[in-house]
Amino acid sequence: MLRFLVKNNFKNTLKTVVNCKNLYKEGYFVKKFVNPSWVQPLDTFTKRHIGSSKEEIQEMLDFIGMESLDDLTNEVIPKDLLKQNTRENEVTFNTVVHGSESEALEKLRKTMKKNKVFKTYIGQGFYDCKIPSVLQRNILENPLWYTPYTPYQAEISQGRLEALINFQTMVADLTGLKFSNASLLDEASAAAEAMNFCVNSRPKKPKTIFLSIDCHPQVIEVIKTKAEPLGINLIIDKHENFDLQKNGGGCGVILQNPTTNGTLHDYEDFVKECHKEDTLVCIGTDLLACTLMKSPGDIGADVAFGSAQRFGVPMGFGGPAAAFFSINDEKLIRKMPGRIVGVTKAKDGELCYRLTLQTREQHIKRQNATSNICTAQALLANMSGFFGVYHGPEGLRAIAAQVHKFTIMLQDGLKKLGHKVINPNDGMFDTIHVLHKKLSSDQLLELASGIFKINIRKYCDASVCISLDETTNLQDVDDLLMLFSMEYTKPNWREDTNYIVMKYDQQINVNSFINQNFDNRGLLNEESKLYRRSEYLTHPVFNVYRSETELLRYITTLQNKDISLATSMIPLGSCTMKLNAAVEMLPITWPEVNCIHPFAPKYQTLGYRKLIKDFKNILCSLTGMDGVTFQPNAGSSGEYTGLMAIRHYNNSIGQSNRNICLIPTSAHGTNPASAHLAGFKVVTVKCHENGYIDIDDLIQKCQKYQDDLGAFMVTYPSTYGVFEETITEVCSIIHQYGGQVYLDGANFNALAGIVQPGLFGADVLHLNLHKTFCIPHGGGGPGMGPVCCKKHLTPFLPLEYSNVYQYHPKYAIDNQKDMGPVSSAPFSSASILPISWMYCQLMKPSGLKLATQVAILNANYMKKKLEHIFPVLYKSKKKLVAHEFIINMTKFQKNNKIGVVDFAKRLIDYNFHAPTMSWPVPNSFMIEPTESESKEELDNFCDALISIYHEIQEISESKYPQDNNVLVNAPHSLPLSTADEWNFPYSRSKAIYPLPYIRKSKYFSPVRRVDDVYGDRNISCSCPPLSAYENNE
């Protein structure tokens, strides 16, 4: 009998004892069976994803006069697009044989087991952390938190708005600045936003940014990517070398503290010098370090940015995690990127929350918007905010102090071994920059990974960095000291034991330091210039929830205030609020998925590489494209990346003059903002009254700009909810005049499995994985916007796995012609890719096609039920719509002074989130039901709208006054509905139970109608004091 195998490989030294049981697991003794016909998987997925049964689907088809889903497809989608679906172009990809949930999970687990989970000390903005179980179970894995939409409808979002304002308060307190936003995409893109913030805030100054070479490499490279198309001059050097006066002061300075090699700086005097030149100072920082050291605000900084990942969010091979951004000057708050939660009042004067200053956003300001960011990282911001609530100021400081003490202990040990610690004595928080006395960095990394299964960071050829974190313990420090005690010799296995015989140059262990007192060293020394004396997290929310019981009840109280997909359908047009299935979500908590550092060596990430390669093939097959990048971590970032690929392509063929981007008036609001940031000049193209692109105007604009036409951005089907029959002609016209066609994939849920954009003329597109491919919206993030493109653009996608991510900037690749990175990690929010992979595996090509067909059916079914009352603005020539449609509400405003806002608020009383409101057409609803909703839910929503119409008729008939009726008083909140007094001309039952289905499960909004104007005029973006709640009693 074979008892064991021994495999020696020095680079990846292993000793594996494999017995017969293990061989059986590997399949050596597994027999192949041919299943009889009656053996079928009992947990197939497609029937779970599609909301309606076959019988209900047929009922809806009969209602709209169609015989089958294929008949509907042939009528809705232009025939020239369907003709492209030849066998040669058929959507195919490898899938689980039967599409069962258990098989898909097994296949994915086998793939992800190829990843090697090593102890990591790479740092560079990514750290291992301990996720409190109460938060993992009740936030990250809870559909009441991960399925809501962005909280634009404030009355039904009070829970997560409060959670986000907790996050904002935590960030503002720890960074020492007054105002924080509700998260950004990642640290590097937040740094780029800081650059833009400085330029926008100092418009009269030279567009020069001083960028410290001590920032993280990924931060520097993303800033370089974003600066180039905007013509921003970057001066990259040590901050001590910056000549502010010579360069007119510049718009801003971007620093890092702690620096990328861990060194702490007291920038206070330097900040004063910057302010003398009216130059803004931005500091990238670490929230945990800010519990011990002077905050950016304490030293006078204007902006702070960074990542909150180490606050309760796993590394996840790069993300997702919430970045933060805070400022000090209220006058500049309108220029701050991202969403901001603010305090306001509701109709009865009660305190509440809303997204403030929404007029800054892209749908209104278009190319003049301060940023193109739409999706952020709300779910992860909530995780990090609750991490602060869970630990409180004393808990966070205790974590920071322990990490800092271990770092000082390791520093002392390295010095005792004779190695050179480059940081000043005790002048670091958690990261040590060390020069080994004998070994090169490559030799040291080889010993670390091969013998100790740990990863450290190669800083340059000669030195390394070691970053400790919340999970570090004494054994870890001892292992690191053992590593630095070794000689570089190949270890030998002792055949009679499981131990390795290793040679040591000098031995030392943690026992030498256990009895030392570290309480008065480094940042713990009150005499230190960097010692933090300012208070933080003093609000009660960070100081009262210490037992899990109380914290759990607080979480539950907040989640019960909101509408999510666990409550009812969320029919938001252009948002695709579909099922986020539990089986798709399960893998995100596996260690092989979420405990991998984004800069781990390639051989440790083979599982991710296989997953990414397979998913690239799936997306190429679905889109008809040739290349894919997963770097964009939002749709807006995908738009920017695709346009930048076009820009670099044009530069490569000597046509850098092609900087005009044509955009139809029907375009998504982020399109012009993204085009501006990518260096294009936006020129709009008219649309006809039926929503179709005006071909004559398009040709006229192409002729006018034929020498400079770079790109044309189009959404298909359009944001008006129709499949334009002219799309192939439109693409051909653009190509005729030398332009590239950029397709916004926001509506890909109407194409998947049926139409491949690469075949009808699109050159590049982005996909929203948080729409079509089932990544949850999370109340405003995470998202992911992979870019797919044709062969000629593929070489110009962002670089992956290049030195720009891993080493100090002066050792990075300087590639002028290629596009640099657009996010902090090579594959951005990689840990959520398994969600979309699972969806595609479970649905298979046939299931994806079915989902698209049912989505189109549901929209046309609802359209027909409603169009006799609500005018449907845009239809195809055959009077059909795509997967969404727009109804006009203008007549109700004219006749009864009932606006679309009143409709939206009244829908809350019917248990529903309103559709997309007044976009892309004022005074309208854009309705998108998705394939995951049942016929019963579609009927309930239609009945709700029809019932509200009859309520308006009662106003027309003077049964109720125009200023006192169920619509203008909506929503009827829980406190109002349960009050002893009822001073309205209609009954309580009419207000809160207008239709029978509501009595089965009633949602009550926690507040009455929110006062938007008050919130914008009285900006408050932190947790209000308890005294402010007195009016709520």
Q: What is the pLDDT of residues 360-395, one digit of tens each?
A: 454 555 555 566 667 789 999 999 999 999 999 999
Could you list the beta-strand ranges (E) of 701-813: 709-715, 740-745, 764-767, 787-789
Q: What is the CA angle 612-618-623, rounded to 5?
A: 125
Query: How many other CB atoms are found less than 10 A from the CB of residue 555?
Result: 24
- Is residue 15 over pLDDT 70? no
Report the pLDDT averaged over residues 814-829: 81
Q: pLDDT: is 942 or 502 the higher one? A: 942
Q: Are 809 and 212 in contact (CB under 8 A)?
A: no
Give pLDDT, residue 28.
52
Whether 464 and 457 have beta carbons less than 8 Å apart is answered as yes
pLDDT at 514 over 50: yes
Q: Which helix (H) or strand (E) holds 825?
A: none
pLDDT value of residue 505: 62
| Mean pLDDT (whole number) for 814-827 | 79
Taking the C-alpha atoms of residue 663 and residue 684, their distance in angstroms, rounded to an integer, is 5
Least confident of 461-475, 608-622, 789-803, 828-842: 789-803
Write down the pLDDT at residue 32.
64
Greatest CA separation found in the chain? Answer: 96
| Residue 818 in this model has a pLDDT that exceeds 90 | no
> Contact at 8 Å (CB) between 61 and 68?
yes
**CB contact set of 942 (below 8 Å; sequence gap of 6+):** 862, 865, 866
Residue 461: C-alpha distances to residues 327, 384, 410, 420 (Å): 38, 36, 22, 15
In the chain, % of residues over pLDDT 70: 91
Number of H helices, E strands in the chain: 32, 26
Give CA–CA dist 436/486, Å, rounded. Answer: 11
> What distances in angstroms separate CA 239 from CA 80, 268, 287, 437, 715, one per listed residue?
60, 12, 22, 29, 45
Kindly state the average pLDDT of the residues 180-193: 96
Residue 287: is its pLDDT beyond 80? yes
Which segments of 832-974 are extended strands (E)? Answer: 885-888, 916-917, 924-927
Q: What does the pLDDT look like over 431-455, one tens digit per residue?
A: 999 999 999 999 999 999 999 999 9
Q: Which helix (H) or strand (E) holds 1026?
A: none
pLDDT of 491: 56
**For 619-677, how does the pLDDT look when each residue is reduced to its tens digit (9 = 90+)?**
999 999 999 999 999 999 999 999 999 999 999 999 999 999 999 988 877 899 899 99
pLDDT higher than 60, residue 492? no
Predicted confidence (pLDDT) at residue 494 exceeds the cutoff of 80 = no
User: What mean pLDDT is predicted for residues 410-418?
Assistant: 95
pLDDT class for 13, splitting at 50, 70, 90? Answer: very low
What pLDDT shows up at residue 498? 47
Exposure string over 473-485, b if 16+ CB within 10 A, otherwise e: eeebbbbbbbbbb
Per-residue pLDDT tens digits for 615-631? 999 999 999 999 999 99
Structure tokens at 931: 């394939």
* CB 574, CB 1019: distance < 8 Å: no
Residue 1004 neighbours by CB under 8 Å, 6+ apart:
972, 973, 974, 977, 992
Task: Give the pLDDT of residue 16.
Answer: 40
Matching residue, tokens 């539950």: 556
Taking 60 as the threshold, does the pLDDT of residue 3 lie above it?
no
- Give Cα 874 to chain centroid, integer Å: 32
Helix (H, G, I), strand (E, B) or coil at 305: strand
Looking at every residue in the chain, the average pLDDT score rounds to 91
Q: In this predicted structure, what is the pLDDT of residue 1027?
A: 59
pLDDT at position 2: 34
Percent helix / strand / coil, the chain, rounded to 5: 40, 15, 45
What does the block give as tokens for 436?
Answer: 């080994």
Is pLDDT above 90 for 1030?
A: no
Average pLDDT over residues 352-367: 67
* Residue 9 binned pLDDT confidence (cut-offs 50, 70, 90): very low
The predicted structure's pLDDT at residue 1016:
82
pLDDT (0 to 100) of residue 368: 59
Q: How many CB atoms are located within 10 Å of the residue 230 CB?
A: 15
pLDDT value for 817 = 57
pLDDT higher than threshold 60 for residue 486: yes
The whole-angstrom separation of Cα 622 and Cα 292 is 51
Q: How confident is the model at residue 57 (pLDDT cuts 50, 70, 90)?
A: very high
Average pLDDT for residues 191-205, to the nearest whole number?
A: 95
Greater pLDDT, 652 or 1033: 652
875: Cβ contacts below 8 Å, ≥ 6 apart:
690, 722, 863, 881, 885
Give the whole-angstrom CA distance, residue 129 versus residue 314: 7
Q: CA 603, 609, 613: angle at the middle one, nearest 5?
A: 150
Q: Is the pLDDT of residue 884 over 50?
A: yes
| pLDDT band, residue 95 (cuts 50/70/90) | confident
* Residue whose token pair is 């009969």: 62
What integer pLDDT is reported at residue 626 of this predicted model? Answer: 96
Q: What's the token pair of residue 706?
A: 């034929």
Residue 27 pLDDT:
52
Q: What Cα–Cα distance (Å) separates residue 447 from each residue in 406, 461, 490, 836?
A: 22, 15, 9, 37
| pLDDT for residue 1023 | 78
Cα 782 to Cα 601: distance, rounded to the nearest angstrom = 26
Summarize the confidence of residues 930-944 as an average pLDDT: 98
> What are the two backbone dihedrals, phi and then psi, of residue 2, each rounded to the nearest 5 degrees?
-75, 115
Which residue is listed with tokens 């409808």?
153
Q: What is the reported pLDDT for 362?
A: 47
Cα 504 to Cα 485, 491, 545, 670, distances in angstroms: 6, 11, 49, 59
Mean pLDDT confidence for 709-731 = 96
Of 761-770, 886-895, 948-957, the one with minimum mean pLDDT is: 886-895
| Share of residues in the chain with pLDDT > 90 (%) | 81
Look at residue 807 in the predicted model and tell me its pLDDT. 47
| pLDDT tens-place string over residues 21-43 | 455 555 555 556 677 778 777 88
Q: Are strands 709-715 and 660-664 parallel, antiparallel or unpaired?
A: parallel
How high is the pLDDT of residue 805? 53
